[in-house]
Structure 1
Amino acid sequence: MGFFSWKNHFEVDGRTVVITGGSQGMGRGLGKLLAQKGANVVIVARNQQKLDEALQYISSASKSPQTQRFHAISADLTKSEENTRLLEEVTAWNDGDPPDIVWANAGMSHPSLFIDTPLDTLRSQMEINYWAATYLAHATLKLWLRQSSSKSVPTEQKSAKPRHFIVTSSVACFAGIAGYAPYSPAKSALRSLADTLRSELNIYNGYRRTHATGAPEADVKVHCVVPGTITSPGYAEERKTKHAVTKILEEGDLSQTEDEVAVAAVRGLEKGGYLITTQLLGHAMRAGALGGSPRNNWFVDTVFSWVVNIAWLFIGPDMEGKVFNWGKKNEVKLPA
């Protein structure tokens, strides 16, 4: 991104965007915001009634009601074939053109202690939070990267706007927190997948630069958005299974509404970010756990990481001490 960049790297006006998990929470907020920016929006979720209600809410915010289009698809994204089906349906609805932007946002958390969690729940958490996005990525990239049938590359294709595949991870991917064993591994795997896809896509984007025929129609960019606590219906459900010690560790954490997290996420995309956090706590956690992920701003991220690494000398022991002391003072459920 560099120090200063005023270019919009995420133009959506007139483009078609698919958002999974679009019937409530962050997905609904994204749909509304992108509609305000002129996008044609397709939302995907399981519950048709919630989809219909969300679609009405999103379409009412459209920038150009006469020209923008909106659609809802009910699908179980934990099945690979459903991801292929939804892309086929979107392409047909979009006059034969694949969507320009696909946002793998579907997911949910079932926080609980590891040994208290049934194995079926551990598996289902991986399915909805990792495999659903992975299936969608696989189907989308195969669609976008297929060989062009054109014998020559049209002028507009040479300068085509890039397509964007975006995954929604969680700040839980940056640090292990007691009570998130069912959820954090899936979100960590999702971040790793995004890192890997970002690297691999250089093959195909580079190929477009040197091949006049048969190349993919546009560059493809991958992004990983990493929100923290979102005050949504899903968060209310999480509280029902969340262990007391997890609540202690999260005391004082910043939270965002669905609209606030949508604005922060899209702002990061417009600035050209790759690993995008949406509030101050997330920014700090990202800086301290970048590893091999690319830096959005090499200077800011480097300095911030120094500060966070020093702060973690105090934060880490404090958090571990809270968990240790909870075990000392409370009755602990042990396996039979």
Structure 2
Amino acid sequence: MGFFSRKNHFEVDGRTVVITGGSQGMGRGLAKLLAQKGANVVIVARNQQKLDRALQYIASAAKTPQTQRFHTISADVTKPEENARLLEEVTAWNDGTPPDIVWANAGMAHPSLFIDTPLDIMRSQMDINYWAATYLAHATLRAWLRPPSPEGATTVGQKAAKPRHFIVTSSVACFAGIAGYAPYAPAKSALRSLADTLRSELNLYNGYRRTHSTGAPAADVKIHCVVPATITSPGLAEEEKTKHDVTKVLEESDPAQTEDEVALAAVRGLEKGGYLITTQLIGHAMRAGALGGSPRNNWFVDTVFSWVVSIAWLFIGPDMEGKVFNWGKKNEVKLPS
């Protein structure tokens, strides 16, 4: 990314986008926004009735209703065979061509204290928040990296086709350990690590395309990790039912975004060419303080911001730990029997 670049790095007009978890919340907001930008949109979720309602809402926002197409697929994305099936169905619906953009957005949080959480919940949290995206990435990348027919081959040394994008939705919980998110945060942290690793590996195939006119992928593939914070959605209402009071204390000053606000921030980050994309100020700060080996969106801003945040964490970290410690001092704490 350049300091003053205005190029749109995430063109969607006329392209086909798949969004899992697309029947409500952030997924529905993303689908509507991309429809407004001219994309053909496929939303995936388990509940067909919710999908039908969401599709009507999304299609009504189409930029060019006469030409854009919309579709739903009911699938359980925690199963590898379901991810393979949905990708095959989308490809058939898309005139035999794989989708241009795939967004692994499905996920949900079950916040609770570690020792209070049954192990089957721990496993299910990993299934929906990590494995679902991993299964979809595996099926998608195998389809995208498969060499096209000879007539679809690119010219040696040229980028040719617009890049394809695979996007995962993680969470700011991947940046810092917060009491009460033990079932959820490790899965989202693993998802960020997966995105970092895939981004590195895809350089292998993108580089290969530059020197091979046949037997190479049809387009470059770009990986992105979007990292939102609190989103006002039906999912948030469900989280509140299991969230421990100390977690609520730690989050009490955190701002929340609507599904449309988080979608707009995420897509703007993609259009600017971002890789690890946060959607509000608190997320920007947490990202800057926890970049590690992740690529920088803007080397100067991210470096300076990380210096500032590293100093701020000298105060923020002890304050957050103190809140948890003092809550334990002043309140009854449930111990395992």
Q: Same fold (TM over 0.5)?
A: yes
Does 1:44 find its partner at 2:48?
A: no
Q: Render the CA deviation track for 1:128-174: whole Å, top value 9, x for unaligned.
A: 00000000000000000012221673569851000000000000000
Is the Cα–Cα contact under 8 Å of residues 171 and 226 in structure 1 kept in the other structure?
yes
State whether residues 16 and 41 of structure 2, in contact with CA within 8 Å, keep that contact through their aligned partners in structure 1. yes
1:53 Cα deviation from its structure 2 partner: 0.2
Query: Is there any run of 5+ residues in structure 2 with no aligned partner, and where?
Result: none
What does 1:60-75 correspond to in 2, within 5 Å? 60-75=60-75
Deviation digits for residues 215-262 of structure 1 (CA, Å, limit 9, x no counterpart): 100000000000000000000100010000000000110110000000
Task: Give 1:214 shift.
Answer: 1.1
Number of the residue aligned with 2:124: 124
Is the CA contact 2:155–2:213 (under 8 Å) kept in the aligned structure 1?
Answer: no
Give the distance between the partners of 1:152 and 1:201, measured in 2 at CA.
20
C-alpha spacing 1:152/1:183, structure 2 compared with 1 (3 Å):
closer
Pair 1:29 & 2:29 matched = yes
Unaligned runs of at least 5 residues, structure 1: none
**Corresponding position of 1:309:** 310
1:9 aligns with 2:9: yes
Write out aligned runs for 1:140-155 (5 A): 140-150=140-150, 153-154=153-154
Q: Does 1:237 align with 2:238?
A: yes
| Structure 1 residues 107 and 315, CA gap change in structure 2 (3 angstroms) | same
Determine if contact 1:104/1:167 at 8 Å carries over to the other structure: yes
Aligned twin of 1:20: 20
In the superposition, the TM-score normalised over structure 1's length comes to 0.99
Structure 1 residue 213: Cα displacement:
0.6
Q: Cα 1:169–1:152, aligned 2, differ >3 Å: closer, same or farther?
A: closer
Alpha-carbon contact 2:102-2:165 (below 8 Å) kept: yes
Q: Retained in 2: the 8 A contact 1:110–1:182?
A: yes
Structure 2 vs 1, CA of residues 176 and 260 (structure 1 numbering), >3 Å: closer, same or farther?
same
Question: Which residue pairs with 1:247 in the alignment?
Answer: 248
Match in the other structure for 1:288 = 289
| Partner residue, 1:163 | 164
Instruction: Indicate if the aligned counterparts of 2:43 and 2:72 stay in contact, CA closer than 8 A.
Output: yes
- The Cα offsets for residues 77-101 of structure 1, whole Å up to 9 and x where unpaired, read as 0000000000000000000010000
For residue 122 of structure 1, report the CA deviation from its aligned partner.
Answer: 0.2
Q: Any conservation in 1 of the 2:154–2:213 contact (CA below 8 Å)?
A: no
Give the 3-state SS of the residue equivalent to 2:309 in structure 1.
helix
RMSD (Å) for aligned C-alpha atoms: 1.1
Give matches, 1:108-119, under 5 Å.
108-119=108-119
Cα distance in 2 for partners of 1:36, 1:2 equals: 27
CA distance in 2, matches of 1:300, 1:200: 26
TM-score, with length taken from structure 2 = 0.98
> In 1, distance between residues paired with 2:287 and 2:249?
22
Q: Deviations over 1:3-45 (max 9, x none)?
A: 1110000000000000000000000000000000000000000
Deviations 1:284-329 (A, max 9, x none): 0000000000000000000000000000000000000000000001
Matched to 2:44, the amino acid is V
Code of the residue aligned with 1:328 in structure 2: it is K
Partner Cα separation in structure 2 for residue 119 and residue 188 of structure 1? 19
Task: Return the alpha-carbon distance in structure 1 between the equivalents of residues 278 and 189 of structure 2.
Answer: 14
Aligned equivalents of 2:154 and 2:110: distance in 1? Answer: 49
Using the aligned pairs only, state the percent identity. 87
Q: Secondary structure at the match of 2:99?
A: coil
Instruction: In structure 2, give the amino acid aligned to 1:10.
Output: F
Provide the aligned length of Structure 1 versus Structure 2: 336
**Counterpart of 1:213 in structure 2: which amino acid?**
T
Residues 152, 24 of structure 1: alpha-carbon distance in 2 compared, 3 angstrom cutoff: closer
CA contact (8 A) 1:152 1:212 kept: no
Measure, in 1, the Cα distance between the counterparts of 2:32 and 2:92.
23
